[in-house]
């Protein structure tokens, strides 16, 4: 658990850039020079559980992400079959997709409820402002 309990992504010093949506698009663009997140360049850190980001390699000299290359996910089973090294992961590391579905579902439910409330208000307003005819006036006088 000490070494494999957290993902590379959770320990990565580039994580603040990921959280801010700042990504290198190529290995030599401005983002790459500024040390932005390598997610879009195929980094497999979000799905890889290892301690490289903290223990580093070669007696603590560096590790792949620090040298400017995305994590290959080499400690994950069959990592070489998990898609191209330079293809960005299509699924975010957290349950963002599921949460988005919940939010969408809640939004639809709230929208339906708001629609029903509005129709009810509209109906009450319409009945409260029924047209008064000459005949109605005659009855009241
Ligand atoms: S996607 Fe890769 S480079 Fe970006 S924060 Fe996660 S582990 Fe670090």
Q: What's the CA-to-centroid distance between 31 and ligand 1, angstroms? A: 13
pTM of the model: 0.65
User: What local confidence, expressed as pLDDT, does residue 98 receive?
Assistant: 47
Q: What's the CA-to-centroid distance between 102 and ligand 1, angstroms? A: 26
The residue contributing the CA closest to ligand 1 atom 5 is: 15
| Residue pLDDT, tens place only, 57-83 | 999 999 999 999 999 999 999 998 878
Backbone angles phi, psi at 62, to 5 degrees: -170, -175
Q: What's the CA-to-centroid distance between 46 and ligand 1, angstroms? A: 7
Higher pLDDT, 27 or 111: 27
Question: Could you identify the atom of ligand 1 that is nearest to the CA of residue 15?
Answer: 5
The residue contributing the CA closest to ligand 1 atom 4 is: 37
Higher pLDDT, 124 or 73: 73
Question: Could you identify the atom of ligand 1 that is nearest to the CA of residue 13?
Answer: 8
**CA nearest neighbour of 71 among 105, 41, 27:** 41
**CA nearest neighbour of 71 among 79, 59, 92, 95:** 79
User: What local confidence, expressed as pLDDT, does residue 139 receive?
Assistant: 62
Verify whether ligand 1 is closer than 6 Å to residue 38 (CB atom): yes
């Amino acid at each position: 658990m000490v070494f494999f309990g957290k993902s590379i992504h959770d320990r990565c010093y580039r994580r603040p850039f990921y959280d801010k949506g700042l990504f290198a698009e190529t290995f030599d663009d401005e983002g790459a020079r500024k040390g932005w997140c390598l997610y879009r360049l195929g980094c497999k850190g979000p799905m890889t559980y290892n301690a490289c980001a903290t223990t580093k390699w070669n007696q603590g000299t560096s590790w792949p992400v620090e040298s400017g290359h995305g994590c290959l996910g080499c400690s994950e089973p069959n990592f070489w079959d998990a898609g191209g090294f330079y293809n960005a992961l299509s699924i975010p590391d957290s349950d963002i997709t599921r949460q988005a579905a919940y939010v969408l579902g809640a939004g639809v439910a709230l929208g339906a409820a708001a629609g029903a409330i509005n129709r009810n208000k509209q109906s009450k307003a319409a009945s409260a402002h029924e047209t008064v005819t000459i005949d109605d006036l005659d009855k009241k006088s």
